[in-house]
Chains A and B, each alone.
Chain A
Amino acid sequence: MDESDWLAERFEEHRTRLRAVAYRMLGSLSDADDAVQEAWLRLSRTDASRVENLAGWLTTVVARVSLNMLRSRDVRREQPLVHMPEPIVDRADGTDPEHEALLADSVGLALLVVLETLSPAERLAFVLHDMFGMPFDEIAPIVDRSPEAARQLASRARRRVRAERTDPDPDLEAQREVVNAFLAAARDGDFEGLLAVLDPDVVLRADLGPAAESREVRGAEAVATQAQFYSRLGLLMKPALINGAAGLVSTKDGEPFSVGGFTVRDGRIVAMDILADPERLRRLDLTILED
């Protein structure tokens, strides 16, 4: 039996979708992999005669596992102002096919950041219903509520997501032009140039890790001021795709300094999401920096 035979074929058919569900639930690829692994091992202990719909059964198990992981994470973790999910980083000129499958239907960093602010049950109801089309009567037993209560959970989550404008313009090249204009204006200290590419209600969220204060800055002038400050740090910026959208990876003295995702709408930046936690950056796949 070789490596490709290791996992059963029937499970493999569902693996990408399950990983996508778990990533949207947990905002972390390694946690998503743990959830999928647990689902598979549970399946290997299950009598097939009790499983009428394998896809639904697996999704339910992954959702239950993810929900419990989120709940125990809530208990363990002191919630910072901003907790940046684990970004998926690709070269600027193309997404890894495995990442493409995982990111299908767009799950930008800004959306994941908003999902982090939801309660575990709200997040589950929104992800399963709005992103994967699971009916509320199947979601209800997972969150131990009525279908109507599950519908309300998803509805509350949807309002939060819509309020934060997380959908980027679909044209990646147009996104890139806006981000490049932003970087050029920041480099040149061109405050007016920065304001020209920032939406008046732009939000900058930065997760600097436990050793520093994470921050959320709102409004074009405040964000432009921050951008000018960071432009003086001597960072080397490398364009990248962050969760399938325009972004960048910065380095300082050869070491990763930050990963930033941009949400561009109607030709302006509406959100900038920055992960600058040194410990978490060390665990990220940043092989694009080796090119």
Chain B
Amino acid sequence: MQSDVELVRGIIEALNRGDVDGMLARMDPEFEWRPLESSPVARVYHGHAHVRRYVEDWLSTFDGVRLNLENPAEIAGCVVADVHGHGRGRASGLEIETRFCQVWTLRSGTAVRMDEYATREQALTALESR
């Protein structure tokens, strides 16, 4: 049986391939994507349609979007992983490089929620308070 970490890796690999359908296939229809909580435009993308649009916006705006999972670990029933992401503005050519931490909540072999934090420490603190 696939471990939760493997499931998360499968989602990220699908995203890196630009395979949005493959990514959504591993997500619950009511999946909640909560991008970087500390962003000034933080909000929740709920359900496949909105997650698809958010991800497709990324893939159409940036070339070579790639997320690398680092130190993924199962903690308190979730998968916590540092992420190093990069890409290049399709129109501008400007690089984007970002580091953050994801907390994935999974149920019965499907991802139901993902929260992003600026640091692993913030992620673990948030996880403790759940």
Partner-B contacts on A (CB < 8 A): 1, 5-8, 10-11, 31, 34-35, 37-38, 40-49, 51, 54, 64-66, 68-69, 72
Contacts and interface: CB of A to CB of B under 8 A. Distances in A.
A8 B118 contact: no
A193 B94 CA distance: 53
B74 to A, nearest CB: 26
A11 B45 CA distance: 16
Given A47-B36, A65-B94, A38 B61 contact: yes
Contacts of A64: 92, 94
Given A34-B61, A45-B36, 12 more contacts: A7-B41, A8-B43, A10-B40, A38-B62, A38-B94, A41-B57, A43-B41, A44-B42, A45-B35, A46-B39, A47-B39, A64-B94
Contact of B36 (A6, A10, A31, A44): A44
Contact of A45 (B57, B90, B100): B100
B92 A44 contact: no
B63 to A, nearest CB: 11
A1 B61 CA distance: 23
B91 A45 contact: no
B91 to A, nearest CB: 4
A65 B92 contact: yes
A206 B111 CA distance: 57
A48 B40 contact: yes
A94 B72 CA distance: 58
Contacts of B10: none
11 contacts: A8-B40, A10-B40, A34-B91, A38-B89, A44-B35, A45-B39, A45-B98, A46-B40, A47-B38, A47-B39, A72-B92
B96 interface: yes
Q: Among A40, A48, A51, A68, which residue has the most Cβ atoms of chain B within 10 A?
A: A48
A8 B61 contact: no
Interface in B1-59: 35-36, 38-46, 50, 53, 57-58
> Which of A6, A37, A45, A46 has the most B CB atoms < 10 Å from its CB?
A45
Given A45-B85, A47-B118, A69-B91, A37 B36 contact: no
B41 A11 contact: yes
Contacts of B53: 6
A40 B35 CA distance: 13
Contact of B41 (A34, A35, A37, A44): A44
The 9 closest A-B pairs by CB, nearest first: A8-B41, A68-B92, A65-B92, A34-B91, A47-B118, A45-B98, A48-B40, A47-B38, A11-B41
Contacts of A10: 40-41
A72 B92 CA distance: 8
Query: Considering residues B35, B61, B92, B93, which has the most beta carbons from chain A within 10 angstroms of its beta carbon?
Result: B92
B92 A1 contact: no
A139 B113 CA distance: 41
Nearest to B53: A6
A14 to B, nearest CB: 10
Contacts of A5: 43
Given A1-B46, A1-B50, A38 B92 contact: yes
Contacts of A51: 40
Contacts of B44: 1
A42 B50 CA distance: 18
A65 B93 CA distance: 8
A34 B54 CA distance: 15
Contact of B93 (A35, A45, A72): A72
Interface string B68-99: 00000000000000000100011111101010
Contacts of B40: 8, 10-11, 43, 46, 48, 51, 54
Given A38-B92, A45-B85, A8 B42 contact: yes
